[in-house]
Amino acid sequence: MRDFPGIVLTATIWTYWFGVGVMIHRVRRKARARRVVVPADRIERYMWLLWVPVVAAWMALPYLALTRAHPLLAVPEIAHASAAYAALRWLAAACAVACLALTIDCWARMGRNWRMGVSLDRETELVTTGLFGRVRHPIYALSILLMACTVVIVATLPMLAVGVVHVALMHLKARNEERHLERTHGEAYRAYVAATGRFVPRLGARRPGAAGR
């Protein structure tokens, strides 16, 4: 029996990281940035030692679950036997596709300001439109949600472990970028932080005049 939620998820994740590759190529070509993939910031270089295997595992594990290459990597039988869980997996697959679509919109809004990490050699502009007007790190928030969808669909211990590390890295990366943006943009960014949430909108807050990534 074909695992259609798993197929949708795998295609979504691969498309997501293909999109990241396109963004890297675009930024390097237009901005002639030397450090687009390897972070210039020392803290992010240390984080990169974990990011690379996390991304590789995130791309590989859903595919290996589809192929049932090993019992430890295969989706549990309850995913197919339970109607409720099967419906939940389909819902997670639809949510994953929505995350991809919203992320593409965020990439388009960032344009040449997009970076894999903190940019030390060039000051980037602050983006204020779309989801950036409500959340400081919508791309990271969507990445966390996409990872949650992955764990629901590929309910294995290795995938759960990758998810935990991914969420921890997202929080560390967001905090590090916020420190950098505060140093760069000063009071304007501090006011923005006070008016927005890091990963979810802050209820009752007015729309800020500046946004982070």
How many angstroms separate the CA atoms of 200 and 126, rounded? Answer: 18
> Up-side HSE of residue 99: CA atoms within 13 Å toward CB?
26
- What mean pLDDT is reported for the chain? 86
What is the pLDDT confidence band of residue 20, given thresholds at 50, 70 and 90?
Answer: very high
What is the pLDDT confidence band of residue 40, given thresholds at 50, 70 and 90?
Answer: low
Classify domain 4-195 by CATH number.
1.20.120.1630
Integer angstrom CA distances of residue 5 from 56, 62, 84, 87, 155: 20, 10, 14, 10, 12
DSSP 206: P
Q: Of residues 150 and 187, which shows the higher confidence score?
A: 150
Lowest model confidence (mean pLDDT) among 2-11, 20-29, 60-69, 80-89: 20-29
Q: Rounded to an integer, what is the distance from CA 92 to the centroid of its chain?
A: 16
What is the pLDDT confidence band of residue 38, given thresholds at 50, 70 and 90?
Answer: low
pLDDT, one tens digit per residue, over 167-213 is: 999 999 999 989 888 888 788 888 888 889 999 998 766 655 544 44
pTM for the model stands at: 0.88
Predicted local confidence at residue 211, as pLDDT: 43
- The tokens for 133 are 């007007």
Integer angstrom CA distances of residue 105 from 23, 110, 132, 173, 207: 12, 9, 11, 21, 19
Predicted local confidence at residue 36, as pLDDT: 56
How many angstroms separate the CA atoms of 125 and 130, rounded? Answer: 15
How many angstroms separate the CA atoms of 208 and 129, rounded? Answer: 10
The neighbouring-strand residues paired with 135 are 197
Predicted local confidence at residue 73, as pLDDT: 92
